[in-house]
Chain A
């Protein structure tokens, strides 16, 4: 079993000191180590953003793709290499802005892979604009009068599209997040973990202390992870106003909903199973197909 530290390489993280991405980075390394995942058994695909800079800091045969487009790259990688555990890392602007359509369609497909959303409710790398998950009326350099839209509700969206595993994590609780990651990676189907990972530089509102006063763990309640409707209601009750007090808005973390033994997209694909390089080792005989045109 590779130890946690073995998953890092010679590159030093360039995230701001205290960045929420550190917690997610650490939790992922722990999860991979505890799942005994060797470096040739998984592949990580990143979008673009502060989260994506993490592509340089972890050992994998990975792919650092375009802004918002990690999911289609990862989906086809999974289909081409069925033996790989494919993990997608995306941001909130990246995955719920530009990439929202891919997110919804990937949920629909229930592709057997893991989606880790670095949700800091702000654009970090482009210096502090509001993101799709920024709170209503949050002020930023791109929204000086406040965000006029309701925030994207990734959990509700995923549930509406038939998500088979949806969880929310908090980068300030690494042991809890590690367990969520492990469950997500082991889930057969598309597993989503949306992680609140405060941006210490640009988001002056949804900070670590702000979350610490509000998060609670679903597994410490009598939460039923098989009730999709209740999970949807819960996703709608999460805070979306800036002015709420800790008593008024509680932030549930943990597994909202899971459904095991579901059909994945791949289950319906006849050609899925062998790595796809194997069908290109020699020319395919198409003479019978050509003859059909006579």
Chain B
């Protein structure tokens, strides 16, 4: 396995593993904050089973002084908060990697297969917290201190982070936490096991934010002027609900945790009818419950945004893991035919940008827009440049919110398929927004006339032509000419970009087309890209090759190679690096 370090970079990869319910993610994020504020790029990956307590949880943090795009598998420092963490992660340890553990938890000599040459650092995590008057929950903080002590990184940044985290609750708790961190650092630093790299805070770097995909999407939606958010909790979408509930109300957003997903989607349609910018987010199972109302949004020409964060299905599937298996589902969900737009953000910047663009597209087209993500994008934080909120625009399309209208027809036949949308409450805005097929006014009785049906059905679908003009175009990475040309969608962009940066110094040239608007499908662009390629591949996180099938369907073309993954884990750059070399060998 390659070490996965960009040429010339200083990089450390830290994994904290232990039982669920002990705040591993929160502790890890403190560490991420320390390094991000110290000028480093970070990317974290939290892996956990669908349990509240017990099971095996891990938090992996990649820290680099160079630009990075994804997580890696390699680990240089393993913090083992229980015995099973060690054997589970032995194979990812780099040469001379450190293992920090508490000898009171287990005896390292009893763990099988621990190779020679590792730096074993026993730290009495539990004893230390009692020495400094702390509580059991602070073991993590001692461990964080130990990590920094081992690296030789100044502890003050962790102190500042802990102060921020706890001082508003009680200053004395912050103090005890700081003591825990210092004690851990001192203990690990004295182990006589030198860390091979010189890592220290870097001055003068541009500031970074530390953010996950759901937070980025939420910020985009808020920037767009969202007024209503409804959801039923479902991993990995729930954190959007939490974020909106925490920040939305003060910003004028009505946030509703509904009785079920059917209510959420119907409410979003109702709020849109009332003029709000409205969104709901869910995962596949919740989206299944929303399907009828999703179709309602289509036939009623409602401007709504749905976030669909995929996890492995079908049914309950693997709740806390990732997959890209809902592409076809997003394209076909709900009975009948109606126009929809499916956007697929590939990283945090995309999530923010598409987060606000989705509302403009929905308003201009008056049809539902899906933002299709997955757990890999939703759940994990990385350092990125602060989003540029000055780039955000609001385009509500043919919406009339006030005043008076005459001879109004909600579903007037137009060239572009979009009719004026006048809100209830406006004088003269009588209309019937309808789940039945309907005439131009909206009456259902007349909608069964064959000519009326055909006219309305074709009117709606004409909006897809307009969609092609206003939706994001594919993004391209890498040189124009390359040994391998890759097409992908969504979060797979991140590890592929990472692998590309590793291949480049090896003299392997790869370029990549990221399909940002999956529907309407950019068939022309795909045909051009494939036509110019020497060797082609699709990399996607599902069993059946959904994107590949879509390319065949829309372009009557095929690619040379497919790499698929459906074990719940994201592609790693290590895997991609090896696979691309194999394909080109």
Chain A residues proximal to chain B, CB less than 8 Å: 11, 14, 39-41, 43, 45, 48, 53, 55-56, 59-66, 69, 71-81, 83-84, 101-102, 105, 269-272, 274-277, 279-287, 289-291, 293-294
Residues of chain B in range 386-407 having any CB-CB distance to chain A below 8 Å: 386-387, 389, 392-394, 396, 399, 401
Mask for B417-454, Cβ within 8 A of A = 1, else 0?
00000111111111111111000001111000000000
**Contact present for B444 and A55 (CB under 8 Å):** yes
Within the complex, what minimum Cβ distance (angstroms) separates A155 from chain B? 21
**Chain B residues within an 8 Å CB radius of A281:** 225, 394
Q: How far is the CA of A40 from the CA of B223 in the complex (A)?
A: 31
Instruction: Closest B residue to A68 by CB, please name it.
Output: B262
B82 at the interface (CB under 8 A from A): no
Q: A276 near B394 (CB under 8 angstroms)? A: no
Interface segment out of the listed B59-67, B72-80, B142-150, B244-252: B244-252
Inter-chain CA distance A73–B265, complex, in Å, is 9
| Listed A/B pairs (13) with beta-carbon separation below 8 Å | A59-B430, A61-B431, A63-B300, A66-B266, A73-B267, A102-B263, A275-B274, A276-B274, A277-B401, A279-B251, A284-B222, A291-B386, A293-B210
Which residues of chain A are near B444, meaning CB under 8 Å?
Answer: 53, 55-56, 64
Tally of contact residues, B, Cβ under 8 A: 78
Give complex CA distance A283, B444 in Å: 36
Contact A276 B430 (CB under 8 A): no
B435 / chain A contacts, CB cutoff of 8 Å = 48, 64-66
Tell me, in angstroms, the Cα distance from A76 to B292 when the chains sit together. Answer: 17
Majority secondary structure, B binding face = mixed
Q: What separation, in Å, do the CA atoms of A64 and B276 have in the docked complex?
A: 18
A231 to chain B, nearest CB (A): 24
Known A56-B445, A80-B228; judge A276-B276 contact (CB<8 A): yes
> Is A277 a contact of B423 with CB atoms below 8 Å?
yes
> Roughly how many angstroms separate A75 CA and B263 CA in the complex, as a whole number?
10
Closest to A65 in B: B435
> Within the assembled complex, what's the spacing in Å between the Cα atoms of A270 and B432?
30
Q: Which residues of B contact A274 (CB under 8 A)?
A: 252
Contacts of B224 in A (CB 8 A): 280, 283-284
Report B262-283 CB contacts with A as 1/0, cut-off 8 Å.
1110111111011111100000
Check A66/B424 contact, CB under 8 A, given A56-B445, A77-B270, A80-B276.
Answer: no
How many residue pairs at the A-B interface have CB separations less than 8 Å?
236
Taken together as a complex, chains A and B put the C-alpha atoms of A193 and B211 apart, in Å, by 49
Known interface pairs A271-B249, A271-B254; A74-B270 also in contact (CB < 8 Å): yes
B219 (CB) vs chain A CBs: closest residue: A286
- B-side contacts of A270, CB under 8 Å: 249-250
Contact B292 A66, beta carbon cutoff 8 Å:
yes
Chain A residues with Cβ below 8 Å from B436 are 64
Instruction: Choose one: A83, A275, A283; the contact of B356 (CB below 8 Å).
Output: A283
Q: Does residue B227 face the partner (Cβ distance < 8 Å to A)?
A: yes
Which residues in B have their C-beta under 8 angstroms from that of A294? 37, 207-210, 386
A81 and B272 CA atoms in complex are apart in Å by: 10
Smallest Cβ-Cβ distance to B422: which chain A residue? A61
Give the chain A neighbours of B428 by CB distance below 8 A.
Answer: 40
Q: Which residues of B contact A293 (CB under 8 A)?
A: 209-211, 215, 386
Given contacts A64-B432, A76-B273, A294-B209, could you give 8 more A-B pairs where the C-beta distance is less than 8 Å? A11-B445, A63-B300, A72-B266, A76-B266, A80-B227, A275-B423, A281-B225, A285-B389
Q: In the bound complex, do residue B427 and residue A283 qualify as a contact, i.e. CB atoms below 8 Å apart?
A: no
- A290 adjacent to B387 (CB under 8 Å): yes
Instruction: Give the CA-CA distance A80 to B275 in the complex, in Å.
Output: 7
